[in-house]
Structure 1
Amino acid sequence: MGRLFGTDGVRGVANADLTAELALGLSVAAAHVLAEVGTFEGHRPTAVVGRDPRASGEFLEAAVVAGLASAGVDVLRVGVLPTPAVAYLTGVLGADFGVMLSASHNAMPDNGVKFFARGGHKLADDLEDRIETLYDKHRTGEPWERPTGGGVGRVRTYDEGFDRYVAHLMAVLPNRLDGLKVVLDEAHGAAARVSPEAFTRAGAEIVTIGAEPNGLNINEDCGSTHLGRLKAAVVEHGADLGIAHDGDADRCLAVDASGAEVDGDQILAVLALAMREQGGLRHNTVVGTVMANLGFKMAMEREGVTVVQTGVGDRYVLESMKEHGYALGGEQSGHVIILDHATTGDGTLTGLMLAARLAATGRTLADLAGVMRRLPQVLVNVPDVDRSRVATSADLAAAVTEAEAELGSTGRVLLRPSGTEPLVRVMVEAADIDQARSVAARLADAVKSALG
């Protein structure tokens, strides 16, 4: 059996790859690893369980809750809330761990199980490995030790989660949003109630789209992966900006008053300068990934802000932030982590902070985002190659060196082997889009020739 845990929990087609049996078994294993059930006499561990609105979340939630209670864990069911809300509640309620059922920006048939450790933090690889090993051990025949009588977990609905999370967002907002008109695209997802409530309490005039989840329409032609409707709505309503989330609302992308997209790199740049001005940008550093646009790095260097780059994935951004004490980090895709106020990417918090910057300065989003110019970026996937030899092929290294010499200081090259497929991703940035395309095509040919 291949590794169950991917870059963000266990994910797959619900009721095909991700079954009720799998969700139940993983939950029992997680109870033993994260809550150490049966280890401490008299200890009654607690878990917070939330989900996005997908139809499959209903039966998967039932399976997870059953597994946890059967292992002796008391469960607080918080219902449909964003992933960062479940992480926040896990921490503030002192729970042993949290569980979120969501496949984020994926299409509706998918779902996923994501665990948070005590404090609301994403799991380290070794904890995921321990859960998976224990699950596989019992899946193949070794029975669980199960409590009986009063030892079984109790389950209750925790309705206060919504208000506690929104109150938290209000408490950390640096200023009100009075005078701003904002269009919110909720992706028919987990923030369909939370985000409009938060922006309204903060004083903004709001227009909502994609805020009618029915269990089947999550991420359907809306949200952060489909910005067309948001762009049109911002222009139609004469709004100051638009905010788009994904299905579990751990992402935020934006649209300026003209309908132009403002991506995660630009949002990071705006927030980095705002936080520095407010004295909150620790070590004068922002964390991004190797996929961040070169224009972001050039802009931050020009502004005197240090950029630290990690591997692709918000978990690696978070690891760097926690290890070195940085306050801000994120990805081009819109995962933005403001570590003083959240333990994971929080799309609603990010949108509020971005809007707060507009309100505080009186400047437009286009003006603020203009601190950086996105260089043209071309990405080519090269399939059916030996991805393991990317770092060792002399011919490929020579091709990369030649490309880098041509691009000079105003461009860059990145070759990334896929983590799961026989695929290499070729990314080229350049000041000119035609040059970027030409160099990317030549490098793709070089990858095929060297690794095919």
Structure 2
Amino acid sequence: MSRKYFGTDGVRGLVGKYPITPDFAMKLGWAAGKVLASKGNNRVLIGKDTRISGYMLESAMEAGFVAAGIDVAFLGPMPTPAVAYLTRTFRGEAGVVISASHNPYHDNGIKFFSADGTKLNDDIELEIESWLDREMDCVPSERLGKASRIADAAGRYIEYCKATFCREFSLRGQRIVLDCAHGATYHVAPPVFTELGAEVITICNTPNGTNINDQCGATHLAALRKKVVEVRADFGIAFDGDGDRVMMVDADGSVIDGDVILYILASHWKRKGIAFGGVVGTQMANMGLELALAEMNIPFARSKVGDRYVVEMLKEKGWSLGGENSGHILALEHASTGDGIIAALQVLQVLAETGQTLSKARAGMTLLPQVLVNVKFSGQSAPLEAQAVQQAVADAEASLAGRGRVLLRKSGTEPLIRVMVEGEDQAQVDHLAHAIADVIRAEGS
């Protein structure tokens, strides 16, 4: 059965437009509460990023949960992985994150974590959706849920992050620029790296409700690259709005994306004899990662795009390391979901153990030229099956002659078709990607 409201990462959309409205959020809280209550559970934790609409959606969800007889504990602005961790440590039966991740402030979303700190499985999401079609009611007054606030949530998460960095090492002598995307990491990331000994310079860490991800963070690295070079930092680290993604920049401003981070961790763990099984990437992972891992006899597999699918494949294979080139890194020995701060700390531990610079640590991997073009479309269906689009893909694949890839996919969170072309020649893949994008635009108009 297909899901009506839940996408690859919860429910997401434009604030004020269904389903990101206060009435739907209240009904969603109530429906989720009914599912939890039916299993004998009665407490959820709610965290959010720094979007101004978070206040509205948080209050609406509180009303829905309380009406269903579920207690609510508020965490305030908190990274998505922090909500997953705190849900486990406070023995919550579910965690809720109000965030649209890397999207602009006028979007927002709602996603859930299980008691184990993992994304809800499809069966539970479908069960919640079935309750959304029912008339909302309210439990008797004596059974209404209660609301409270967890005051020390940030401090608990900061200590947890620090504990994943080996006590034998520190970050003393390192100058780091942190770009917090005016998002949920603004009050937790700087203390983590400072308390581990680094000299920390922060940018984009003054959220005002509308500047989240605005030309900053993991999806816009220009400001970070400039600052790293300007202050002669050893490297820079950028998070997205909800802190589950990380991108890095070395001392000369070169970008270290999720694929390179996976290579740095996997190659070091392999040399140390740390058991992690293999690496799961996605369909978007650069072929350079696959080739570099093969040279070290490290198994590699591709999942569908989306960190939930990476986690599923990791569990199927019994592996512990995976992620996406966008910066979602899954190190399951340390966190149950993508965690930008913890992923960055794992890379910094590699540097501390080896004495290498960031650029030296990534030297064994060469990324193949890859171009990604996002094409907006209107209507309910994406024009991926149009004959002209299929022909454009076939022509591109013929031009690549088996020495590259073409991938088209519909975004699970935005009305976009993502066109990815990869090959050996930058000019060729750029031309082919934009040619396919032009055909999609023509068919979708």
TM-score, length basis structure 2: 0.90
- Report the residue type matching 2:153 in the other structure: G
Residue in 2 aligned with 1:162?
154
Name which of 152, 156, 163 aligns with 2:144: 152
- Report the residue type matching 2:125 in the other structure: E
Name which of 97, 115, 118 aligns with 1:118: 115
Work out whether residues 416 and 425 of structure 1, in 8 Å CA contact, stay in contact via their aligned partners in 2. Answer: yes
Name which of 161, 173, 178 aligns with 1:179: 173
Change (3 A) 1:427 1:214: closer
The answer as to 2:328 corresponding to 1:335 is yes
Work out whether residues 426 and 444 of structure 1, in 8 Å CA contact, stay in contact via their aligned partners in 2. Answer: yes
Work out whether residues 280 and 327 of structure 1, in 8 Å CA contact, stay in contact via their aligned partners in 2. Answer: no
- Aligned-pair CA distance for 1:439: 4.4
How far apart in 2 are the matches of 1:213 and 1:381?
A: 27
Residue in 2 aligned with 1:8?
9
Work out whether residues 369 and 423 of structure 2, in 8 Å CA contact, stay in contact via their aligned partners in 1. Answer: yes
How far apart in 2 are the matches of 1:3 and 1:271?
A: 38
The answer as to 2:259 corresponding to 1:272 is no
Which range moves more in the overlay, 300-309 or 11-20?
Answer: 11-20
- Any idea what SS the aligned residue of 2:125 has? helix
How far apart in 2 are the matches of 1:423 and 1:199?
A: 36
Equivalent pairs, count: 437
Change (3 A) 1:244 1:152: same
The answer as to 2:410 corresponding to 1:402 is no
Work out whether residues 87 and 95 of structure 2, in 8 Å CA contact, stay in contact via their aligned partners in 1. Answer: yes
Residue in 1 aligned with 2:53?
56
Deviation by residue 1:66-106 (Cα, 9 ceiling, x = unmatched):
21122111111111110000000111221110101111111
1:12-161 to 2 correspondences below 5 Å:
12-17=13-18, 18-33=20-35, 35=36, 37-38=37-38, 40=40, 45-135=42-132, 137-138=133-134, 142-144=135-137, 146-161=138-153
**Structure 1 stretches of 5 or more lacking a match?**
none
- Aligned-pair CA distance for 1:417: 5.1
Work out whether residues 396 and 450 of structure 1, in 8 Å CA contact, stay in contact via their aligned partners in 2. Answer: no
- Aligned-pair CA distance for 1:419: 6.0
- Aligned-pair CA distance for 1:402: 2.5
Change (3 A) 1:382 1:195: closer
Which range moves more in the overlay, 317-326 or 373-382?
Answer: 373-382
- Aligned-pair CA distance for 1:147: 2.3
- Aligned-pair CA distance for 1:150: 3.0
- Report the residue type matching 2:107 in the other structure: D
Change (3 A) 1:232 1:57: same
- Aligned-pair CA distance for 1:446: 8.4
TM-score, length basis structure 1: 0.89
- Aligned-pair CA distance for 1:414: 2.6
- Any idea what SS the aligned residue of 1:77 has? strand
Work out whether residues 9 and 113 of structure 1, in 8 Å CA contact, stay in contact via their aligned partners in 2. Answer: yes
Which range moves more in the overlay, 240-249 or 216-225?
Answer: 216-225
Deviation by residue 1:249-280 (Cα, 9 ceiling, x = unmatched):
00000000001111111111111123334444
Change (3 A) 1:402 1:445: farther
Name which of 301, 311, 314 aligns with 1:308: 301
Identity %: 44
Name which of 409, 423, 430 aligns with 1:437: 430
Work out whether residues 404 and 413 of structure 1, in 8 Å CA contact, stay in contact via their aligned partners in 2. Answer: no
Which range moves more in the overlay, 301-310 or 77-86?
Answer: 301-310
Change (3 A) 1:398 1:375: closer
Deviation by residue 1:404-444 (Cα, 9 ceiling, x = unmatched):
52x43xx3333435669997644221221123234446666
How far apart in 2 are the matches of 1:246 and 1:212?
A: 14
How far apart in 1 are the matches of 2:412 and 2:48?
A: 27
Change (3 A) 1:131 1:357: same
Change (3 A) 1:383 1:234: closer
How far apart in 1 are the matches of 2:375 and 2:99?
A: 30
How far apart in 2 are the matches of 1:434 and 1:223?
A: 28
**Structure 2 stretches of 5 or more lacking a match?**
none
Work out whether residues 9 and 412 of structure 2, in 8 Å CA contact, stay in contact via their aligned partners in 1. Answer: no
Change (3 A) 1:281 1:252: farther
Change (3 A) 1:247 1:379: closer
Residue in 2 aligned with 1:216?
210
Deviation by residue 1:287-312 (Cα, 9 ceiling, x = unmatched):
10011111111111112211110111
- Any idea what SS the aligned residue of 2:142 has? helix
Deviation by residue 1:295-351 (Cα, 9 ceiling, x = unmatched):
111111112211110111111111111222211110010010111111111011111
Work out whether residues 379 and 428 of structure 1, in 8 Å CA contact, stay in contact via their aligned partners in 2. Answer: yes
CA RMSD, aligned part only?
2.8
Which range moves more in the overlay, 290-299 or 376-385?
Answer: 376-385
- Report the residue type matching 1:4 in the other structure: Y
- Any idea what SS the aligned residue of 1:231 has? helix
Residue in 1 aligned with 2:341?
348
Change (3 A) 1:70 1:232: same
Work out whether residues 386 and 423 of structure 1, in 8 Å CA contact, stay in contact via their aligned partners in 2. Answer: no
